[in-house]
Amino acid sequence: MSEPTVIAHISDLHCGSRYHIPSLAKRVIDELNLLCPDIVVVTGDLTDMGFRHEFEAAHSLIERIACNRRVVLLGNHDARNVGDEHFTELFGSRSTELAYRDAHILGIDSSEPDLDTGRVGRERYTWIEERFAKSTDGFKVLAMHHHLVPVPGTGRERNIVHDAGDLLRVLANNGVDLVLCGHKHVPNVWRLEDMLIVNAGTCCTHRLRGKVRPCYNVIEIREDSHVRVLLKEPYVDAQVVADFHDVNKRYCRWRENEGPPAGGYELLGEGEPE
Ligand SMILES: [Fe+2]
């Protein structure tokens, strides 16, 4: 069997926030550089307020990831204070496309200026359809910041993309295999029809819900659309949380959330002053 295509999916760095933990960000990058993924997807909230210095900090972090195939997206926090201008200067287009081996990834900006809510919008459905029409046999991935379906353990539901229903139909009708989202800071995997919808937690902040820990995802795409999703907490062995195959489709058991490690994350580095 050939080697899988490996996507590292990180999200919600919140550079500039008092909740951002620099030592944890460094650890994540060190781990990614050991992993050597084929593709890195960053699903938004690189910054906390969309300020220039926050984007520069995020840019220098992401530049240290030794992988040139990157999809980096805006989040709602990045769209504050006209942060999109800094984003495009440092990272390029707000919507992006990347193809590698069988994987065909479209990255979409789901943010709106100075709003926490998100949308994709009818005007972009045709673009999605046209781009994915080019990869009939490929493994189709859509990445965006806002979540597409509710995520368990996140409290009152809010900020799903406004056009979630219509977008789901577009993605299902066009054979999308995988959707990558961030925003809620809670990891999750849902399967809807033949599509996996995967959320990443926050990889390097204290902005957590309940007992969820900072984490990111590693996704392995194998032959015949066999997909494994691994949850990776910094300093902890990866845990397979989903393993889907054409024949044998199954979720793996989620580990009970255990809360922060003894001593808390402050032990991992200096953090930032409150
Ligand atoms: Fe966030």
For 144-190, write each residue's pLDDT tens digit: 999 999 999 899 988 899 999 999 999 999 999 999 999 999 999 99
The whole-number pLDDT of residue 203 equals 95
Average pLDDT, the chain: 89
Instruction: Label residue 270 by pLDDT band (50, 70, 90).
Output: very low
Whole domain around residue 18: which residue ranges? 5-263
Instruction: Label residue 211 by pLDDT band (50, 70, 90).
Output: confident
Instruction: Label residue 274 by pLDDT band (50, 70, 90).
Output: very low
SS3 track for the chain: CCCCEEEEEECCCCECCCCECHHHHHHHHHHHHHHCCCEEEECCCCECCCCHHHHHHHHHHHHCCCCCCEEECCCCCCCHHHHHHHHHHHHCCCCEEEEECCEEEEECCCCECCECCCCCCHHHHHHHHHHHHCCCCCEEEEECCCCCCCCCCCCCCCCCCCCHHHHHHHHHHCCCCEEEEEEEECCEEEEECCEEEEEEECCCECCCCCCCCCCEEEEEECHHHCEEEEEECCCCCCEEEEEECCCCEEECCCCCCCCCCCCCHHHHCCCCCC
270 lies in some domain: no
Ligand 1 centroid to 204 CA: how many Å?
11
178 lies in some domain: yes
269 lies in some domain: no
84 lies in some domain: yes
240 lies in some domain: yes
On the question of pLDDT at 268 being above 60, the answer is no
* Interval 76-91 mean pLDDT: 97
Ligand 1 centroid to 205 CA: how many Å?
9
Instruction: Label residue 273 by pLDDT band (50, 70, 90).
Output: very low
Ligand 1 centroid to 110 CA: how many Å?
13
Instruction: Label residue 246 by pLDDT band (50, 70, 90).
Output: low
On the question of pLDDT at 22 being above 80, the answer is yes
273 lies in some domain: no
Please tell me the total count of domains within the chain.
Answer: 1
274 lies in some domain: no
Ligand 1 centroid to 5 CA: how many Å?
27
The whole-number pLDDT of residue 148 equals 96
144 lies in some domain: yes
| Percent over 90 (pLDDT), the chain | 74
Ligand 1 centroid to 114 CA: how many Å?
14
CATH number of the domain where residue 111 is located = 3.60.21.10
Ligand 1 centroid to 9 CA: how many Å?
14
On the question of pLDDT at 214 being above 50, the answer is yes
Q: What is the pTM of this model?
A: 0.91
On the question of pLDDT at 61 being above 70, the answer is yes
Ligand 1 centroid to 218 CA: how many Å?
19
